Amino acid sequence: MRQAEEQARLYPSDLTDAQWQVIAPHLPPEVPGRRGRPRTWPLRVITDAILYLDRAGCAWRYLPSDYPPWRTVYGYFAAWRDDGTLAALHDALRAQVRAAAGRGAGPTAAIIDSQSVRAADTVPRAGRGWDNAKKVNGRKRHIAVDAMGLLLAVVITAASVQDRDGARPLLWNLHRASRRVRLVWADAVYAGKLAAWAASLKMSLQIIARRNPHAFEVLPRRWAVVVERTFAWISKHRRTVRDYERLPASHEAMILWAMVALMASRLAQPAHLSNTHLACRLTSGLPDQGFCRFVRVSRCASAASA
């Protein structure tokens, strides 16, 4: 069964049957008798084309001929971006991932940070800026994530916008999307008047700063690891490594699609993990790659002894 399913997938970014079952209920169904041209392409093929472009990083006109025409795919991409379908899909999958991890649907704490990315020549000059600290000419994405690293809110600005200034609309979007968030962790860059702005939204901004910048120090609530891991997840999709979008909303949509692919993959995984694997992962203290290497070595040793 799995071999037949893999053969049906044209590209590695295409959804498996299990992943499609996770996403399909949250896409708009076909409405009988609606005005306009009838739908001729399945939504699964449209979704696969968007995920391919997001992962491969190609231009819209370079979509492979195995997918629908690029104008059709972009039409769905823009429509779902503008009518809230993509945001609703992303939020629904996030709630499911949190529930599967034994957490409540709505988080109570968040972590904020920013990342500057270079802009391609397709980004208009009015929408880009120069980040002198990172030496980047492009845009800056400000994100808020929960304790699991799942995206809660994102704001796209020019790279010249200071982190404190970009955090104001970010916290406002976070307040609208996640009303239960009361605690926000941030680094020392966000210290200052932002705390008063957060308090007006009934949020407490907690600055995690190093007391001795020249020495190693274990910081509370390893916020940097969580949010940097989210940036790493997003950057696996080449369309997000550099900003190619004319509209900031399109770059935000590419980030949301990257997280949708991640969460759909998680939700489609088998739920039965043995206690032995869980115990090894908790006691080994290895990161994900080290843990996978540890499992491979153990399996090889077991096979050799058998």
User: What span, in angstroms and rounded, lies between the C-alpha atoms of 77 and 27?
Assistant: 12
- At 36-94, the pLDDT tens digits run 777 889 999 999 999 999 999 999 999 999 999 999 999 999 999 999 999 999 999 99
- At 223-238, the pLDDT tens digits run 678 999 999 999 999 9
pLDDT band with cut points at 50, 70 and 90 for residue 294: very low
E strand segments, the chain: 109-118, 129-131, 136-145, 151-158, 183-186, 204-207
81-96 in b/e form (b: 16+ CB < 10 A) is beeeebeebbbbbbbb
- Contact between 54 and 237 under an 8 Å Cβ cutoff? The reply is yes
User: What is the reported pLDDT for 63?
Assistant: 96
Residue % of the chain over a pLDDT of 90: 72
Tell me which H or E stretch contains 304.
Answer: helix 288-305
Confidence check: pLDDT of 297 > 90: no
Q: What is the overall mean pLDDT for the chain? A: 85
- Considering the entire predicted model, what is its pTM? 0.84
User: What span, in angstroms and rounded, lies between the C-alpha atoms of 89 and 81?
Assistant: 11
- Position 96, amino acid: Q
- At 168-221, the pLDDT tens digits run 999 999 999 999 999 999 988 999 899 999 999 999 999 887 666 667 766 555
- Position 289, amino acid: Q
- Contact between 108 and 183 under an 8 Å Cβ cutoff? The reply is yes
Residue matched to tokens 């700063």: 209
Selected residue with higher pLDDT from 217 and 30: 30
Cα angle value 164/170/171 (rounded, 5°): 90
Element counts in the chain: helices (H) and strands (E): 12, 6
User: What is the reported pLDDT for 118?
Assistant: 97
- CA quadruple 280, 281, 282, 288: dihedral sign: positive
Confidence check: pLDDT of 140 > 80: yes
Using left for φ > 0, alpha for ψ between -120 and 50, and beta otherwise, residue 192 falls in: left
Compute φ and ψ for 167, nearest 5 degrees: -75, -20
Residues 6 or more apart whose CB falls under 8 angstroms from that of 168 comprise 194, 197
